[in-house]
Amino acid sequence: MAWDRETLIQILIEEARNPRMRGRLDDADVTVTGGNPGCGDVVHIYLKGTGDGHGIAGVKFEGSGCNVSQAAASMLLQKVVDDGLTMDQVLHLRGEDMKQFVGESALATRPRCATLALSTLKEAVRQYRRQLRAEGKWQGPIDPTQESF
């Protein structure tokens, strides 16, 4: 669904004020911090896997920064939960996919803010799979978008 710019700004402000996915996930398997040093945005992603390297059992975030970075984090994680995205599906998301949450204008003018949560979530998935591999529980690629088969 395409929103006009004013509606999208209101959605981002509301989501940043009341992020649905904000909070600590105490039983997370991995916690990854991402940030934008230039503007001060920080996002901590908490990820709980299903133990098989494929499924996501839980995901939350904490952070601080601009409305775009915080709203985008919450909206991205809500999509992961609502759509039941797998780890491979998360790894296949592109920065451009974030425009469905933040809009084309915000993605074009504030790309680092708009994509911070996505890059941090992807790193959480990679770290989780590395952890499983170290335990002998994962044989597949860490990131199929970066590794050849």
What is the per-residue pLDDT across 43-56, written as a single tens digit (0 to 9) for each?
Answer: 999 999 999 999 99
Q: What is the pLDDT of residues 91-112, one digit of tens each?
A: 999 999 998 878 888 888 899 9
Altogether, the residues listed in the chain come to a count of 149
pLDDT above 50 for 149: no
User: Helix 111-134 vs helix 99-109: angle between axes, to the nearest 10 degrees?
Assistant: 120
Rounded to two decimals, the pTM is: 0.93
Rounded to the nearest 5°, which phi and psi values hold at 44?
A: -110, 120
The structural architecture, per CATH, of the domain 5-132 is Alpha-Beta Complex (3.90)
Q: Is the pLDDT of residue 79 over 60?
A: yes
Alpha-carbon distance 73 to 65, whole Å?
A: 11
Domain boundaries, the chain: 5-132
